[in-house]
Amino acid sequence: MTVGKKILLAHGGGGRLTNEFINEIILPAFDNKTLSGLTDSAEIKLDSPNICFTTDSYVVKPLFFNGGDIGKLAVCGTLNDLAVSGSKPVAISLAMIIEEGLEIEILRKILNSAAQTAKQQNVSIVCGDTKVVESGSVDKIFINTSGIGTKLPGAKLGFDEIKTGDAIIISGTIGDHGMTIMSQREGIKFESSLKSDCASVGELCISLIETFGSDIKFMRDPTRGGLAATLNEIADKINCSIEIYEEKIPANSTVKAAAEMLGFDILEIANEGKFIAIVSADKAEQCLKLCQTSPNGKDAAFIGQIADKGQPLVELITAVNGRRIVQMPYGRELPRIC
Amino acid sequence: MTVGKKILLAHGGGGRLTNEFINEIILPAFDNKTLSGLTDSAEIKLDSPNICFTTDSYVVKPLFFNGGDIGKLAVCGTLNDLAVSGSKPVAISLAMIIEEGLEIEILRKILNSAAQTAKQQNVSIVCGDTKVVESGSVDKIFINTSGIGTKLPGAKLGFDEIKTGDAIIISGTIGDHGMTIMSQREGIKFESSLKSDCASVGELCISLIETFGSDIKFMRDPTRGGLAATLNEIADKINCSIEIYEEKIPANSTVKAAAEMLGFDILEIANEGKFIAIVSADKAEQCLKLCQTSPNGKDAAFIGQIADKGQPLVELITAVNGRRIVQMPYGRELPRIC
């Protein structure tokens, strides 16, 4: 191997070492013709001119965690943004900013993980970029992925579609990703039984839309800020109130215990393989059943509904029928969670 | 202003402060309906399903330099990648990774610059992302832009189109961007008379393709690694030799002096508002004339041709008719130049 064991500034310099790096590290990981052309941009022929386009940067710390790593996360995160927008993913870009001195073996693991995740979801990583900065100017590696998807013909999603009485479904347990990262970062004992939910929910979202069409009104993946942020955004955007039932919200007991121990509200914790769907009330039961047939939706649950109190408000109805207002999180709780 | 004077971790946390930040800083800078929807991805209706897709991260240091800043650079860089691929830009994403503590005023300047550049080129910034990391985990701010363009019907570009005898044109002086950054970084006196060429070459590329069609065989913007890297890549890829004439390569005298003083080969210095075009020999004169009518091509020059020596080789023919091999740069010369 001519590339050596550690990343050098020259690997990002655009010269001979960049070429070696691309040929020995990048191309073998992402084996596809479009990328191998090494043109200034990837040429793609789409099935439809109606597209969704999204971008996200990933700065998660640590780079490897139970259930995933920054490579898998970067691919799943962007695929999920396309999925909840009602589109079928077509192509992904992957751009890295790497700290000089990073071990090539670490990078290789991350890239293989990203490549494998993309392959499993039948999407190609078609273009990319590598920058290397001096030691101390970035913490190991940050990754940006952008994605293009073609809009599903049956998708009619949007804040405007949501009506009073619509049901809210969550595709599974909440808080798994955030609590895994935090526990691992704090070095807390129960970390071994915590596992990030990092996964692509694309197939399930597509099958919901293809089956129920316009009865699926809105979808979103509750990442940073968790369920609390997502529901508050909806309430705010459409000026409605939302009621959710504490007892119906699925969560793993270890996640609950970890959140309690570290003083977090589980509703505010990031998820990386879940989505909420707001659906017509009379289709809620059927939607739920469809979700539960998928490995990514086996713990799906009906958790509440769009109410109408004349003001944007998210309320949690507790086990004893008490009510607590769920506020938009402040945002400082969990830095570098994704 | 509720956002305050400095970037906080919470501005990237996905909660209330992120919302304030988006509403007060991001949306006013990029005033467009698609972005303001704040959906998980931007919905776009394209004119054509044949697209180009590209991504680049920008880590330039310093953030502000004579002739531009990281915001302008991030937009121009991606527009140029689309342009030299023979496409018309449609949409751009902009994702930032910001260091906690960065002054909001600096960020605002960068965003306004990016927005203004995009507006001038009639392209919208339709989606974005903001991550904030702890002080010390990133050097101030890094930006990723990805871009989508629709392929021009008349474009027939590609390594395979290049033939022996084709002419090589450069759209203007070389080395301006790289030497401006280096001089400014080193605090060298002549910095004031150096100015980055940071600009979008989109319009000129489009008009070349629309006018000359398949006689434009290949285009590329010689950024990292400069003209030396770009020409070597071509020679390598199509197994041809390339001859360029030292006296014909346009360069500002201050740039030449700065390169000499700092010990750089000007052929290896990054450009951020230039492209090379490989064109049919019998159309070279006309192409050149068209370039020279554009402000971004006024110093355009014919600099050499595709030769045939049976091996990949780039040769510089000197003023006294000597020959020197132009090697692929090693890549360590100029870190964080873009």
Residue B3 in domain = no
pLDDT of A1 > 60? The answer is no
pLDDT of A109 > 90? The answer is yes
Whole-number Å distance between alpha carbons of B41 and A212: 21
In which domain, by residue range, is A248 found?
159-325
B18 touches A331 (CB < 8 A): yes
Among A26, A36, A39, pick the best mutation site for testing chain B contact (most B Cβ within 10 A).
A39
Mean per-residue pLDDT over chain A, rounded: 94
Q: What is the mean pLDDT of residues B166-172?
A: 98
The pLDDT value recorded for residue B188 is 77
Using a CB-CB cut-off of 8 Å, the residues of chain B touching A39 are: 85, 158
Using a CB-CB cut-off of 8 Å, the residues of chain B touching A3 are: none
Are A135 and A176 in a shared domain?
no
Beta bridge partners of B43: A52
Using a CB-CB cut-off of 8 Å, the residues of chain B touching A46 are: 46, 49-51
Among B114, B109, B121, residue whose Cα is nearest residue B80: B121
pLDDT of A189 > 80? The answer is no
Are A90 and A200 in a shared domain?
no
Contacts (Cβ under 8 Å, ≥6 apart) of A23: none
Are A173 and A138 in a shared domain?
no
Q: What is the mean pLDDT of residues A215-220?
A: 98
Among A91, A95, A151, A88, residue whose Cα is nearest residue A123: A91
Final residue belonging to a domain, choices B90, B123, B151: B151
Are A84 and A134 in a shared domain?
yes
pLDDT of B38 > 90? The answer is no
Among B146, B156, B236, B330, pick the best mutation site for testing chain A contact (most A Cβ within 10 A).
B146
Are A80 and A205 in a shared domain?
no
Phi, psi of B134, deg, nearest 5: -55, 150
Question: Which residues numbered 40-59 in B keep a CB inside 8 Å of some CB on A?
Answer: 40-59
The pLDDT value recorded for residue B308 is 85
The pLDDT value recorded for residue B190 is 66
Whole-number Å distance between alpha carbons of A79 and A149: 9
Q: Which is more confidently placed, A331 or B288?
A: B288
Whole-number Å distance between alpha carbons of B224 and B337: 7
CA distances to A80, A168, A253 from A299, in Å: 18, 14, 13
Whole-number Å distance between alpha carbons of A62 and A69: 8
A189 CB burial (10 A radius; 0-12, 13-18, 19+): exposed
Are B244 and B287 in a shared domain?
yes
SS3 B328: coil
The pLDDT value recorded for residue B333 is 62
Question: Which residues numbered 136-195 in A keep a CB inside 8 Å of some CB on B?
Answer: 136-139, 142, 144, 146-149, 151, 158
Whole-number Å distance between alpha carbons of A136 and B61: 14
B62 and chain A in contact, CB less than 8 A: no
| Strands laid side by side in the A124-133 sheet | A124-133, A87-99, A141-151, A50-58, B42-45
For residue A118, the tally of other CB atoms under 10 A from its CB is 28
Using a CB-CB cut-off of 8 Å, the residues of chain B touching A139 are: 133, 136-138
| Sequential DSSP letters for A241-298 | EEEEEGGGS---HHHHHHHHHHT--GGGS--SS--EEEE-GGGHHHHHHHHHTSGGGT
CB–CB contact A133 B47 (8 Å): no
Residue of B nearest to A229 (CA): B15
Model confidence band, residue A333 (pLDDT cutoffs 50, 70, 90): low
The pLDDT value recorded for residue B243 is 98
Residue A140 in domain = yes
Residue B338 in domain = no
ipTM value: 0.96
What CATH number has the domain bearing residue A117?
3.30.1330.10
Amino acid, single-letter form, for residue A123: V
B148 touches B51 (CB < 8 A): yes
Amino acid, single-letter form, for residue A14: G
Are B39 and B141 in a shared domain?
yes
A269 touches A261 (CB < 8 A): no
Among A89, A84, A238, residue whose Cα is nearest residue A163: A238
Residue A337 in domain = no
Residue A268 in domain = yes
Using a CB-CB cut-off of 8 Å, the residues of chain B touching A329 are: 13-16
Model confidence band, residue B191 (pLDDT cutoffs 50, 70, 90): low
The pLDDT value recorded for residue A190 is 66
Q: What is the mean pLDDT of residues A293-307?
A: 97
Whole-number Å distance between alpha carbons of A93 and A42: 9
Are B188 and B306 in a shared domain?
yes
Final residue belonging to a domain, choices B127, B151, B175: B151
Final residue belonging to a domain, choices B132, B151, B170: B151
Model confidence band, residue A176 (pLDDT cutoffs 50, 70, 90): very high
A274 and chain B in contact, CB less than 8 A: no
Are A168 and A316 in a shared domain?
yes
- How far does the CA of residue B165 sit from the closest CA of chain A (Å)? 22
SS3 B155: coil
pLDDT of B1 > 60? The answer is no
Are B143 and B185 in a shared domain?
no
Are B175 and B314 in a shared domain?
yes
Among B333, B279, B240, residue whose Cα is nearest residue B157: B279
CB–CB contact A55 B138 (8 Å): no
Beta bridge partners of A317: A245, A323
SS3 B88: strand
Which of B146, B223, B327 lies nearest to residue A93, judging by beta carbons?
B146
For residue B249, the tally of other CB atoms under 10 A from its CB is 18
B200 and chain A in contact, CB less than 8 A: no
B13 and chain A in contact, CB less than 8 A: yes
The pLDDT value recorded for residue A188 is 77
Using a CB-CB cut-off of 8 Å, the residues of chain A touching B223 are: 14
What CATH number has the domain bearing residue A285?
3.90.650.10
Q: What token pair was written down for A203?
A: 């197939």
Helix axis angle for B202-212 and B284-292, nearest 10°, is 140
Q: What is the mean pLDDT of residues A132-159?
A: 97
Residue B90 in domain = yes
Helix axis angle for A253-262 and A176-186, nearest 10°, is 50
Residue of B nearest to A99 (CA): B138
pLDDT tens digits for B143-161?
999 999 999 999 999 999 9
Residue B4 in domain = no
- How far does the CA of residue A303 sit from the closest CA of chain B (Å)? 21
Model confidence band, residue B141 (pLDDT cutoffs 50, 70, 90): very high
pLDDT of A46 > 80? The answer is yes
CA angle B1, B2, B8 (to 5 degrees): 120
Which of B53, B137, B329 lies nearest to residue A148, judging by beta carbons?
B53
Largest CA distance in chain B: 68
How many domains does the structure of chain B reveal? 2
Helices marked H in B175-315 — which ranges? 176-186, 202-212, 226-238, 253-262, 284-292
CB–CB contact B81 A136 (8 Å): no
Among A124, A113, A116, A29, residue whose Cα is nearest residue A70: A113
- How far does the CA of residue B120 sit from the closest CA of chain A (Å)? 22
**Residue in this structure with the two tokens 């570290």, named with its chain if needed:** A262
Whole-number Å distance between alpha carbons of B278 and B168: 5
Q: What token pair was written down for B247?
A: 């006296």
The pLDDT value recorded for residue A324 is 96
Task: Please tell me the pTM assigned to this model.
Answer: 0.96
Whole-number Å distance between alpha carbons of B198 and B207: 20
Q: What token pair was written down for A145?
A: 């992925």
Whole-number Å distance between alpha carbons of B118 and A35: 26
Q: What is the mean pLDDT of residues B44-52?
A: 95
Using a CB-CB cut-off of 8 Å, the residues of chain A touching B333 are: 13, 15
3-class DSSP string for A17-46: HHHHHHHHHHHHHCCCHHHHCCCCCEEEEC
**Residue in this structure with the two tokens 């130049």, named with its chain if needed:** B337
Q: What is the mean pLDDT of residues B230-236?
A: 96
A222 and chain B in contact, CB less than 8 A: no
Residue A4 in domain = no
Are B105 and B211 in a shared domain?
no
pLDDT of A191 > 80? The answer is no
Amino acid, single-letter form, for residue B157: L
Mean per-residue pLDDT over chain B, rounded: 94
The pLDDT value recorded for residue B2 is 72
Phi, psi of A37, deg, nearest 5: -65, -25
For residue A270, the tally of other CB atoms under 10 A from its CB is 31
For residue A312, the tally of other CB atoms under 10 A from its CB is 17
